Structure 1
Amino acid sequence: MASSAGTVNRVLRLAGPALLPAIAYGAYKGNATGAIESFFTGPGRTSRIIALVVVLFNWKSLPMAWTVRVWSAMVSHFLFRRFHTHTPDKLFHPVITSTHVSLLEVDYNLHKSNSTYFADLDVSRSHLVSHLFARGCRALAHNATTKLVVDPSSSTSEPARGKFGVMLGAVHCSFRREIAPYQAYETWSRVLGWDRKWMYIVTHFVEKGAVRPRSWDAGSFGATRKTDGEPQEWERKIFATAVSKYVFKIGRLTVHPVVVIGESGLLPERPGGWVAVEDGAAQPAGLVTGGELPEANPSEWDWRRTEEERRKGEEFVRHFASLDGLHSRFDGGEDGALGRFGLG
């Protein structure tokens, strides 16, 4: 993800200033105004306008639309929002994106097809990681200079080399309610937790406008809850909930998630650090020390509150992570197969 964004960043910096005048001149020479007027007033205008409306309301299902949605998320945060910073108390805050069910996402039950949720997850996760961990991803993308991750095979502590990337390892989605054609909804994605290899992200599909946060972080805007009021039954507003896991890589080397989180300024100081080594393997210190956490100070966000939130997520991701063992249950049709069918 980060390596792709870095390439786009460099291309836009070099080509952007030249492309804008070229586009403007081309529109002028090509009489763009006349073409637009002819489109809306010339013969056959009704069919063209109807076709335009259909395209506008269903653009997210057009060819290459997924690529545009995902890349625009990465480019907007890595290129145009490069200077944002967040404090550790924002680590578990969600990012919210809005979209709707397009016509081509509707199945024969006349609601959003289950398979289309995963495209929305790609977009939502891209916004979260590109925004929250922009500084960490940028530092690791230049690891040869920053030397954050050392090549374990090097006897002289040389930095690990290779392209930095963020890879998706697995997704689980639990469906609760259907979403009707053209109905608007929001995706709320946040960090759920992490272990020595994976970062886990939870995403909720929520009715648009039904839930408002108590506040917005710096640089964001939108409506908020007017009063705290009584605890709401938010589950009634949820269409589906998904858990995804990401792994960070430099070449073929796995990067511990706390490196990315820490370099993004999102980890408070912790006695002994956030990573411990047990049996030669690095893992979160919380998994090594175990036991009860010291009581956290409610007036400040310290390492105990961060670890407490991580452990809350761990209760769910432990079961999710165990599903990797299902790969071993594939037997290659040892006892036979039902058949081979077309139009798959």
Structure 2
Amino acid sequence: MKVDLKQRWSSLSPALLYSVSSTSARGQLLVKIIFKYLLYAIVLANLRGAPVVWHWRVFWPIIKYNLQFLAFRVPNACATLLNRGERARRIAGYIDKTSPVGVHPFDFEVIYRSRVSVDESDFNMHMSNSSYPKILDFTRTKMATHLFPHFLRAGGVVPIASTHFHFVREIPMLAKYEVRAGIGAWDEKWVSLFSTSSHSTHIYHYFRFYPGIGSHFCSKFYVVGRFVTKQKPKSHNAQQSSSQVPPLTKSESDLVAKLFDSSSEDEKDIILHTVAVARCCYKLGRITVPPSVLMATNGVCVYPHEVTMTELDPTFSGPLDKYSGFSVESPPHTWTHHARNLALNPRKLREFYKGAWRQDPTRWWDSAMGAGGPVEKKLKERLGICKQLFEGMDGVRQFGEPAIV
């Protein structure tokens, strides 16, 4: 019996060894395949966090605009090689179409759509707080290409000074969302460089290379962005309960409540998640460009009954109280007589942004923004809300460092 067992074992062992080794090889191969695809999945899930991706997402709207302009200009130059007048007319038509002619500053809105990726989420599987400023950067760049295309074409940049966020509810991972951004307010004031106050002294040293004698132009531009999602249609009661913004506590700022009121969505099935207010400025090199100059040179204008200080287009014959607004077909006087000529000449536009606007006595950009008219009251109210949001943080900067124990 023992001999038979040994014989059987010796006869089965090669087959058994082969089977074991084959199973081991298959297992190793399966582990390699799983590891490889798992690695691919991790890389793809975090692709937005890869090097240079942030720069690409920020600058892509500007690159896209320049490529579109180049795609128009090269064929147009070839087709009108012997007819300079026709070439100029075509370029003027293209400038009209790509400019926000007649857009009211408080009615403008740009929408940035995206989805919460894995690398933008935290361990709670929600969009992390650190991701909101990054997304707001992409939105501001897209907004600039739609609202200030000629400023970017002239070499302007949009640095951000500070941002205020108010988080209402979280955005789940992999959820689609929108950032709806518009103009909150703008501020233009002159600051004396020879004042003895410490604040003015700081400004003097910071802007000592800027042009201007005795004073410097300090401007701020406020961008309001709302992070929203769309929910699937539900019953009426469910819609009411899920789409309402949670009530604010007494300790929370009334200013944020006003932002909610001014940012309420008329569209159904919209959920508000976060309100962001960014304070930024617009610079060409070291020069700060006034917001009113910036908007007016790109075709932005208030409603006809809000226009002040200069004449309207002589061809306009409709009643101002019934006329809804300007457009490319019926542009404002400030576009046809001033801004359009600058947009067609990049060199003059660049000089205008660098300070030539100071020598223009007509101040037609103030007319386009309704300075001194009915829109100025609304601007002051919105500016007061935006300013107070940042005054607390500006005050915290005055705190001294704690003593080292």
Alignment TM-score, normalising by the size of structure 2: 0.50
Q: Secondary structure at 1:187's aligned position in 2?
A: strand
Per the TM alignment, residue 307 of structure 1 is displaced from its structure 2 partner at its CA by: 4.3
Tell me if structure 2 keeps the 8 A contact 1:189–1:202.
yes
Shift in alpha-carbon separation, 1:89–1:130, aligned structure 2, 3 A: closer
Identify unmatched segments of 5+ residues in structure 1: 1-42, 142-163, 212-230, 274-295, 340-344
Tell me if structure 2 keeps the 8 A contact 1:77–1:131.
no
Name the structure 2 match of 1:104.
119
Tell me if structure 2 keeps the 8 A contact 1:98–1:208.
no
Per the TM alignment, residue 249 of structure 1 is displaced from its structure 2 partner at its CA by: 2.0
Q: Name the amino acid aligned to 1:240.
A: T
Distance 1:298 1:105 in 2: 48
Name the structure 2 match of 1:94.
109
Q: Name the amino acid aligned to 2:182.
A: R
**More deviation in 86-95 or 181-190?**
86-95
Q: Secondary structure at 2:282's aligned position in 1?
A: strand
Name the structure 2 match of 1:77.
65
Query: Which whole-Å deviations, capped at 9, do the CAs of 1:282-340 have from their partners, x for residues lacking one?
Result: xxxxxxxxxxxxxx83533374575465345324212134246325422122xx25x8x
Q: Name the amino acid aligned to 2:113.
A: S
Alignment of 1:3-14 (within 5 A): none
Residue 201, structure 1, aligned to residue 194, structure 2? no
Shift in alpha-carbon separation, 1:52–1:237, aligned structure 2, 3 A: same
Tell me if structure 2 keeps the 8 A contact 1:96–1:186.
yes
Query: Which whole-Å deviations, capped at 9, do the CAs of 1:37-68 have from their partners, x for residues lacking one?
Result: xxxxxx96665455444444442222322111
Q: 1:63 aligns with which of 51, 54, 58?
A: 51
Name the structure 1 match of 2:383.
314
Distance 1:130 1:331 in 2: 41
Alignment TM-score, normalising by the size of structure 1: 0.58
Identify unmatched segments of 5+ residues in structure 2: 1-30, 71-93, 189-218, 234-264, 311-319, 327-369
Tell me if structure 1 keeps the 8 A contact 2:231–2:269.
no
Q: 1:299 aligns with which of 302, 311, 323?
A: 323
Tell me if structure 2 keeps the 8 A contact 1:77–1:127.
no
Name the structure 2 match of 1:245.
279
Name the structure 1 match of 2:165.
173
Q: Secondary structure at 1:88's aligned position in 2?
A: coil
Distance 1:298 1:316 in 2: 30
Name the structure 2 match of 1:325.
394
- Aligned pairs, number: 231
Per the TM alignment, residue 174 of structure 1 is displaced from its structure 2 partner at its CA by: 0.6
What percentage of aligned pairs have identical amino acids? 24
CA RMSD, Structure 1 to Structure 2 (Å):
3.3
Q: Secondary structure at 2:222's aligned position in 1?
A: strand
Query: Which whole-Å deviations, capped at 9, do the CAs of 1:73-128 have from their partners, x for residues lacking one?
Result: 22113432684122233533211111122222222333111111110000011100
Q: Name the amino acid aligned to 1:316.
A: I
Distance 2:292 2:99 in 1: 17
Tell me if structure 1 keeps the 8 A contact 2:180–2:225.
yes
Q: Secondary structure at 1:117's aligned position in 2?
A: helix
Tell me if structure 2 keeps the 8 A contact 1:193–1:309.
no
Name the structure 2 match of 1:271.
308
